[in-house]
Structure 1
Amino acid sequence: MFNHQKYGKQYFMPPTLSYDWVKKETIEKAPTWCSVDLRDGNQALPIPMNLEEKLEMFQLLVDIGFKEIEVAFPAASDTEFKLLRTLIDNNMIPDDVTIMVITQAREHIIRRTFEAIKGAPRAIVHLYNSTSEAQRRQVFRKSQEEIKQIAVNGAILVKELAEQTEGNFYFQYSPESFPGTEVEYALDICNSVLDIWKPTPDHKAIINIPTTVEIAMPHIFASQIEYIHKNLSYRDGVTLSIHPHNDRGSGVSDAEFGVLAGAERVEGTLFGIGERTGNVDLITLAMNMYSQGFDPELDFSQMNAIRKKYEQLTRTEVHERHPYSGDLVFTAFSGSHQDAISKGMKYRQETNTEKWDVPYIPVDPQDIGRNYQTDVIRINSQSGKGGIGYMLETNYGIKLPYKMNEAMGYATKKVSDETSKELSSAEIYQVFRENYIEYHPYFELVDYHFHKGTGQEVTLTVRKDNEQIEMYGEGAGSLDAISNALKAYFDIDYALEVYEQHSLGKDSSAEACAQIGISHHGEIYWGAGIHEDITAASVYALVVAVNRLKDFAASQKEIVK
């Protein structure tokens, strides 16, 4: 049964509330980022990474710029243990990177952990035990004092072994299942652990608050973090960290609100991989900062390469709509969106502005290695003239008059609708060629020759019904002369409504593209021509436009008949 009445509030509000975090507008300074891809992300995989894959992942994280990386739960498996020894024994840890290992507050696990990190140049020992009311009552069946003593005993042993083991060690404590823990009780345990470690500003400890399972809205978590931030002992010797999960889909909000509330460090994974619905996605957090104009101190300029490597190592797929990194996150199919994007991109070119504020695209795709031509606007039956015109202009240099762009839009959407598929830029260009350059159902131009008389004169040769026909015309100029020849021979009348032309390149040898629209009884018929000679391009465009008019007239007569 779908019965909401068996659920209720499982979280605890702090004893005092100040809501100072609400007054802050945004995150201006990057927190310390700690990747837990090799531990939390790895243990969530149906097929965990092997040693070689873990080493590749470690290097990927280093290349991105992570300075703290939780690499293993050394007591969990031989592979985890070997990873630590491989990194340490082969001097594979950069001088500016601190590794972290996690251990339950259990003696044999803590001892095995220190065996794994012996000789580490700089390592954080992450101690945890579960503290929630539900786990105390259901799993451990212990009192608050007994659960606190587990943490204190673990902290004592960690400190003793750190003094006895070769290496440079720092300490971190997490009250696991914090969301279901009384906030003042969680604070009491954290302060009791700190009383054992006695951190200083020169040798800080980390208190890490996880949303092991999200069970409340993000503002609740922020209020809890703010209370802990303001009441921690040894505050100048403690880095307050958070470890958000995503059970309610609010991992990013938890993290951002938590930082506003006083957290200085965030643990998470690339793309949000992790148990159940996953950890907070550090890419989204970092790119959210970047999109507001602040340096996240992580490098995602090669997002596609990072994603490809990550998918290969984890055997998982990043969703096409995943923020910033998915295949379609910068893509517009909607006509109105495409039109706004197209105009926004043109505005940037016209004004040469550095500030990015293109509609519908929060960050410049090129900043993270994406491509305007293939990523931003894609065409299907829902697309509009703006997107189609943008594709032709950015990929082929073809700039269509407004009304012609509208007609081209209908022609393209018709093809997409009939074939039930998205059209590539090459397919869009083919639609353009078939409809406006190579469209000769009624007659085809064979040749033309200009000669001077009282005005401009032309002899025009066309092929109609497999026969060559020669016709003559004169006018004020070359195009006028050809137009008059066609009007006289085919007994039609029209007005030259639109004539535009432009170069398809920047050098003198570039081809020209001409577009012509002729009007007849309120309708405009379009043609285009591409040639190295602008006059020839204009002649070809006019021939297509007249073909469209004649073809339409012929179809109307057939209907009447």
Structure 2
Amino acid sequence: MERRQIVIFDTTLRDGEQAPGCSLYPEEKVRIARQLENLGVDVIEPGFPASSPGDFEAVQTISRAATRAEICGFARAIFSDIDAAVRATEDAPKRRLHLFISSSQIHLDFQLRKSREEVLRIARECIAYAKQFVDKIEFSPMDASRTDEAFLWEMIETAIEAGATIINVPDTVGYALPEEYGAIFRRIRENVRGIDRVMLSAHCHNDLGLAVANSLAALRNGAEQVEVTVNGVGERTGNCSLEELVMAIDTRGEALQLATAIDPSQIYETCRLVSRTMNFPIAHNKPVVGRNAFQHESGIHQDGLLKHRSTYEIMDPERLGVPRNMIVLGKHSGRHALQHRLAQFGIHLSDPELDDVFRRFKDAADAKKTVSDDDLIRLAAEGTGEMMTSYTLVHMQVMTANDQVRVASVTVRDNRTGVEESHSCTGSGPVEAVIGSLKKAFPFPTEFVDLELHSLSVGETANGEATVTIAMGGETFRGTGVHPDIIVAVAHAYMSACNQAAQEAHSLHAVQEALAARN
């Protein structure tokens, strides 16, 4: 049976931006919109044109730049809002207008202070007015999930008669349970005249953590479109998460008989871009793209994963563009995981050496929350008496002041030759200065991809944990560092990532030499 294709309507740049602290500059919206097109969303709602000149400019620019996605102009049921949305989207190759007005009695009584008859009249007049400019009109009766059923049907019928082509049913405050929200769609299908002529859409908020579940319930009861945001950002606790909904459909497509046009390989990059641009961190336990989504500390899980990924993972992280870093070393880790991580640095121990390092690793893991790469390499070196990495950070110094550029100097030893070299660099911040200095110490170019910083405890004596991701030759390498001085932790994490890259470069060079000798 052919799976039903679902329309993915992305409102990250409108509803998502309404999350406190997540406002965007116009050029940032344009950058995210380009990535949303790369991702494959069907509809982009770039903002609220009537809300500010900046939002109008962003919607207009995105409308002109769009090549594949349909652009949606958002407006209250107010003529001036509609005019602004029409002007802002007039250059889009494909467009629609999205009008909304409240429908629940609590909204009518305390927010709009209007009667049901007045709201129906406003909806009818504004939809008819918008229809003069755009054929495709989406209408949302706001707070639909708390609206009297008979009045909701009447409002939807009024909207369809006036020219609406898409009816969106918002769970505006995240109040509905999945069976309730699904039933709303089923009952609309059964009772609203003209509903067979329009598309039904779901728009769910996550106040009770049910946005994705409610959206799936709507799809199973006749919805053809779902409104989502990247990382689930949005008002209060956010909206239905794009990546969670899409991967639920992708992973359980056979059971759901649904499909989307989203390119999974673009999911991770899109989520990271939105997180960085909005300064909105992704929770460690966030499904699909969170730091822990594909990381495993339990020895049983690690052993299973190293034997076959599907033992404990239902999605392939690399297919989503997520770097493969599934092993986290801690007190629950097993011998197999320790051996695997050491091998990433080119460290191969005999069974007795591995037993010794594993025993001391367990002692260290009991004393710490996690064992950093530096700790692990030091343990291996102590067990064998050998230098275990290609490069070692011998010395680092950073000079910083609140009114001057930062200056860093580093000394790095090439352990293969014993040669030590010192380098220095300036930067607007200490991290930039340190990384700039360290880049000069390595004979191969790397791209600094990402930095995560976390406190491992509370108080002024807390250790900081840094995770650095770099790219070299199309591959990514990730290193960790832990230290009371967070800048030192960053330096150690960068050195760890570079040592992994060096091991990869050395291995590739050895293979190339062997092939050359054979030929």
Contact 1:103/1:126 (CA < 8 Å) preserved in 2?
yes
Q: Which residue of 1 aligns with 2:79?
A: 107
Q: Which residue of 2 aligns with 1:61?
A: 36
Residues 412-451 of structure 1: pairs in structure 2 closer than 5 A:
412-418=361-367, 420-425=368-373, 427-435=375-383
Q: Which residue of 2 aligns with 1:11?
A: none
Write the distance in 2 (CA, Å) between the matches of 1:113 and 1:360. Answer: 48
Q: Which residue of 2 aligns with 1:378?
A: 328
Write the distance in 2 (CA, Å) between the matches of 1:71 and 1:59. Answer: 11
Query: What amino acid is aligned across from residue 337 of structure 1 in structure 2?
Result: H
Query: What amino acid is aligned across from residue 368 of structure 1 in structure 2?
Result: L
Q: Secondary structure of the residue that 2:51 maps to in structure 1?
A: coil
Unaligned runs of 5+ in 1: 1-25, 163-167, 200-204, 346-357, 440-503, 511-561
Residues 236-255 of structure 1: pairs in structure 2 closer than 5 A:
236-255=196-215
Write the distance in 2 (CA, Å) between the matches of 1:98 and 1:438. Answer: 60
Q: Secondary structure of the residue that 1:208 maps to in structure 2?
A: strand
Write the distance in 2 (CA, Å) between the matches of 1:393 and 1:291. Answer: 32
Q: Secondary structure of the residue that 1:129 maps to in structure 2?
A: strand
TM-score under structure 2 length normalisation? 0.68
Contact 1:45/1:314 (CA < 8 Å) preserved in 2?
no
Task: Note the C-alpha offset of 1:281.
Answer: 0.5
Write the distance in 2 (CA, Å) between the matches of 1:156 and 1:405. Answer: 75
1:192 aligns with 2:164: no
Q: Secondary structure of the residue that 2:170 maps to in structure 1?
A: strand
Number of residues paired by the alignment? 389
Task: Note the C-alpha offset of 1:250.
Answer: 0.7
Greater shift in the superposed pair: 289-298 or 333-342: 289-298
1:92 aligns with 2:65: yes
Q: Secondary structure of the residue that 1:71 maps to in structure 2?
A: coil
Task: Note the C-alpha offset of 1:115.
Answer: 3.1
Relative to 1, partners in 2 of residues 1:365 and 1:109: Cα closer, same or farther, differing over 3 Å?
Answer: closer
Query: What amino acid is aligned across from residue 209 of structure 2 in structure 1?
Result: G
Contact 1:151/1:193 (CA < 8 Å) preserved in 2?
yes
Relative to 1, partners in 2 of residues 1:27 and 1:41: Cα closer, same or farther, differing over 3 Å?
Answer: farther
Choose the corresponding residue for 1:391, options 341, 353, 357: 341
Q: Which residue of 2 aligns with 1:212?
A: 172
Write the distance in 2 (CA, Å) between the matches of 1:316 and 1:272. Answer: 11
Choose the corresponding residue for 1:363, options 315, 319, 322: 315
1:341 aligns with 2:341: no
Greater shift in the superposed pair: 382-391 or 124-133: 382-391
Q: Deviations over 1:311-347 (max 9, x none)?
A: 23212211222111112211111223223323334xx
Relative to 1, partners in 2 of residues 1:400 and 1:27: Cα closer, same or farther, differing over 3 Å?
Answer: farther
Write the distance in 2 (CA, Å) between the matches of 1:223 and 1:394. Answer: 52
Query: What amino acid is aligned across from residue 65 of structure 1 in structure 2?
Result: G
Greater shift in the superposed pair: 115-124 or 424-433: 424-433
Contact 2:72/2:89 (CA < 8 Å) preserved in 1?
no
Query: What amino acid is aligned across from residue 181 of structure 1 in structure 2?
Result: T
Q: Which residue of 2 aligns with 1:482?
A: none
RMSD of Structure 2 on Structure 1 (CA)? 3.0
State percent identity of aligned pairs.
26
Residues 274-353 of structure 1: pairs in structure 2 closer than 5 A:
274-292=234-252, 296-345=260-309
Q: Deviations over 1:335-379 (max 9, x none)?
A: 23223323334xxxxxxxxxxxx222221122122343xx20110
Q: Secondary structure of the residue that 2:264 maps to in structure 1?
A: coil
Choose the corresponding residue for 1:409, options 337, 358, 367: 358
Task: Note the C-alpha offset of 1:254.
Answer: 0.7
Q: Secondary structure of the residue that 2:136 maps to in structure 1?
A: strand
Choose the corresponding residue for 1:224, options 180, 184, 205: 184
Task: Note the C-alpha offset of 1:417.
Answer: 2.7
Query: What amino acid is aligned across from residue 413 of structure 1 in structure 2?
Result: K
Q: Secondary structure of the residue that 2:50 maps to in structure 1?
A: coil
Query: What amino acid is aligned across from residue 384 of structure 1 in structure 2?
Result: G
Query: What amino acid is aligned across from residue 377 of structure 1 in structure 2?
Result: I
Task: Note the C-alpha offset of 1:273.
Answer: 0.5
Relative to 1, partners in 2 of residues 1:296 and 1:122: Cα closer, same or farther, differing over 3 Å?
Answer: closer
Task: Note the C-alpha offset of 1:211.
Answer: 0.7
Unaligned runs of 5+ in 2: 388-503, 512-519
Write the distance in 2 (CA, Å) between the matches of 1:296 and 1:437. Answer: 55
Write the distance in 2 (CA, Å) between the matches of 1:258 and 1:406. Answer: 55
Write the distance in 2 (CA, Å) between the matches of 1:115 and 1:179. Answer: 32
Query: What amino acid is aligned across from residue 242 of structure 1 in structure 2?
Result: A
Contact 1:178/1:212 (CA < 8 Å) preserved in 2?
yes
